Chain A
Amino acid sequence: MRPSAVVESRQPGAVSGWRRSLVEAVVLTIFSVVVGLAINAARPHGLPLIASTPYEILVPCPEPGGPVERVTADDPGLFSPRTFLVDARGPADFAAGHLPGAVNLCYDWLDPVPEADLLALASEIAASGATRVVVYGDGGRPDSGEHLGREISGRGIKNVSFLEGGAPAVAEEIAP
């Protein structure tokens, strides 16, 4: 009986001890806040309490899509029947001339590529039996082919490459 009586007599004290320490924590926090504000006010170049303009936050956006490799125009597998070619240029450029067998999906820098179009292309690639995908764009910097390649790669298609230099690098192979 005696030990339990001791425990019972301690419990209210223990609870009040926890409560007291919590209250002390709140008081200390408030005191710290007041001290911080006072020291900031006394500082010659203290921070204004409320920022007048939003902060310019420089956080890199997460890299969209998946990995791509770089290939050059003299790559021997570029025109292999097992290579699926994708033209990332606009429809007008594609109509004017493209690599034989290439499929067009325009990569627009201002508008994201519609998800439905990407998934349809991914399905077409998967159904083609190709073992490799090469995307070419206008060869600019940044390269639309590389970016579309990342988008395709990010939709679960493996072994995606982009053609360095884009369509101009294979100009003699391009036909209407």
Chain B
Amino acid sequence: MTGGRLAAWLAVPMRWYLGVLFIDACLHKIAHPGSFALDIATYDILPLVLVNIAAITMPWAEVAAGGLLLAGHRTRAAGWMIAGMMVVFLAALSIALARGMDMSCGCFASQGAVDEDPISRLTVVRDLVWLGLALFVVAFDRGLLGVDGWLRRRSV
């Protein structure tokens, strides 16, 4: 098995992992957009006029990217979306940590769960790992065990 082929196969579980992760992350946000808006406002980065719009739309970008990664369709584009979101989350986290804020990440639950999911340097490391996984998928995924691969085989 060549290096590229091995990387393509390695990208499959990473893709599934990121897919499940982002769908899991967006469920709470879609069900409770008001709580997610409060999470965004707590970071105190976006102006008030953009807080609700971000809370309404961001979870749907997460579900789209997560769903596409799970299905193995347009995986590079989905990987870019995840990577873009991770960069945004990392910037927000870094600013909050630099300000010394003691708050919940808001990644999987609301501010009420501050004791379960507090932001820390570990959160930044975790997000960096996820960013790395997303970029790996962008670089090496070939649609194996996914819709893209199936479509390619069908066209051949």
A residues near B, CB below 8 A? 17-18, 21-22, 24-25, 27-29, 31-33, 35-37, 39-40, 46-51, 54-55, 57-60, 62
User: What are the residues of chain A within 8 A of B80 when measuring CB–CB?
Assistant: 21-22, 24-25
Closest-by-CB residue of A relative to B77 is A24
User: What are the residues of chain B within 8 A of A50 when measuring CB–CB?
Assistant: 48-49, 52-53
User: What are the residues of chain B within 8 A of A62 when measuring CB–CB?
Assistant: 100-102
Give the most central of B38, B61, B65: most A CB within 10 Å.
B61
Do the beta carbons of B42 and A57 come within 8 Å of each other? yes
**At the interface, is chain B mostly helix, strand, loop or mixed?**
helix
Do the beta carbons of B81 and A25 come within 8 Å of each other? yes
User: What are the residues of chain B within 8 A of A49 when measuring CB–CB?
Assistant: 52-53, 56
How many chain-B residues does the 8 Å CB contact rule pick out?
A: 37
Given A28-B81, A51-B48, answer yes or no on A40-B33 (Cβ-Cβ < 8 Å). yes
Q: Name the distance in Å between B72's Cβ and chain A's nearest Cβ.
A: 14
Q: How far is the CA of A39 from the CA of B100 in the complex (A)?
A: 36
Do the beta carbons of A36 and B60 come within 8 Å of each other? yes
